[in-house]
Homo-oligomer: A and B are copies of this chain.
Amino acid sequence: MTINKTLVYKKIPQKSLVAGEHIVVEDLEIDLDTVPKNGLLVEILYVSLDPYLRIMMRDPKIKYNIDPFPVGSPVIETAVVKILKSDADGFEAGETILANVPIAQYARIDNLKDAELQKIDNPYGLPLAHFLGALGMPGLTAYSGLYEVGKPKVGETIFISSAAGAVGQVVGQIAKREGLRVIGSVGSDEKLKFITEELGFDAGFNYKKESPHDALPRLAPDGLDIYYENVGGDHLEASLCNMKRHGRIVVCGMITTYGIPPLEQKPVRGLGQLDACQIKMQGFLVWDAEYGPAYHQEHQKRVQEWIHEGSFQAKLHVTEGIENAATSLVGMLEGRNFGKPVLKVK
C-alpha cells in the first residue's frame, strides 16, 4: 500500500468553511499494484476547485439540487488524470482524461459512470488545466447560461459579478465578442485592472470600495439588459433596481447564499422590479439538457480556437501541491483566487 494524501470532509461548517477544521488533508492508503475490475487506476494531475463545493459541504437540512458529501469521506472534484492501469474498455494506460475523483494524489475508479469520465479532445495541444476552466465545466456554464438565458444582442449592456472568476472572465470576453457593453464587479483593484485592461471589459468596480448601488447607476446610467449573477445579495438587489425592461438575470450561482438556509440568507429588496420591468430570472444547472449538453460542441470549438489564436484569455490561478488542497479551496470560496482556481497535485 502507498500513502495517498487526500482531502477529507471532516465536519459540517455552520458558517465559513475552515481549512484544518472542516476539511483536512490526510494520509490515506491506496493499492497502486492492482486495477479495479472493469475500472481504472489513475494519477491525479490537476484538480478543479469550484464554488459549488461549498454546497456539497453543507447542513443536509438545506435543500439543494444535489446531496452533500457524507462527513468523513473525501472531497470529490473534477480532475485531469493520467491513467496508470486500465481494465476498462476504451481507456488505455498513459491516456489523460477528465474524471470526478477524490482530491488526492491517486484514485481507484470502480464505477466509470459515477466518475463521469470524459476524453479530452485537444487538437491545438492547449494546456490541460484549461479543461477544468474556460474549456471545462465553468466555461460551459458561462457559455450556455449567457446564450440560453441571457440571449445577448449587439449594443446591449451586461453586468457580470465575480467578473475575474472562472465563469465571469469567460462571460465577459464572449459578451465583448457579441458586441455588448460589458461591466464587471471584482473584489480588488488588481482584478479591476485585469478585467478592464486585459480582458477588454468596458468598465468595472471594486465592490469592496464601492457599493453596486452606487456603481451601477454611475457605470450604466441607461440601465442593464443582462445581469450575469454569481454572488447574490447587494449585487442582485442593485441589478434589479437598474435593469431595463425585458432584462434577463442569468442566475449562474449565488456564492453568498451557499450553505446558508433560505430564511437565513440576506434578504433582497426590489423584487417588484421583476413585475415593473418584465424581468426574467433563471437559475440553471450546466448539466441540464438545454444548457451544457446543447452548447458543448460549439463551446469547445469556438473557445479552443480563440485560446489557440491568442484572442481569448483563460487566466488560471494554480496552487501547487496536494498539501495545499484545503487552504486553496477555502481561498477560492473567500475570493482570494485571481483567475480560475486549479490545484496542481503533482
Contacts and interface: CB of A to CB of B under 8 A. Distances in A.
Interface in A280-295: 280-285, 288
Interface string A235-278: 01100110001100001111001101011111111111111111
B65 A271 contact: no
A37 interface: no
Contact of A280 (B64, B241, B280): B280
A278 B241 contact: no
A63 interface: yes
A212 interface: no
Contacts of A285: 278
A283 B248 CA distance: 10
B272 A269 contact: no
Interface residues of A, number: 43
A232 B63 contact: no
Given A65-B278, A260-B272, A267-B269, 16 more contacts: A64-B277, A65-B245, A232-B272, A232-B275, A254-B274, A262-B270, A264-B269, A265-B269, A265-B271, A267-B268, A273-B283, A274-B281, A276-B283, A277-B283, A278-B288, A280-B282
Identify the 10 closest CB pairs spanning chains A and B, nearest first: A257-B272, A267-B267, A262-B270, A274-B283, A281-B281, A275-B283, A267-B269, A278-B283, A280-B282, A64-B276
17 contacts: A55-B276, A65-B278, A236-B271, A241-B263, A253-B275, A257-B272, A260-B272, A263-B269, A265-B269, A265-B270, A265-B272, A266-B269, A268-B271, A277-B283, A278-B283, A278-B284, A279-B283
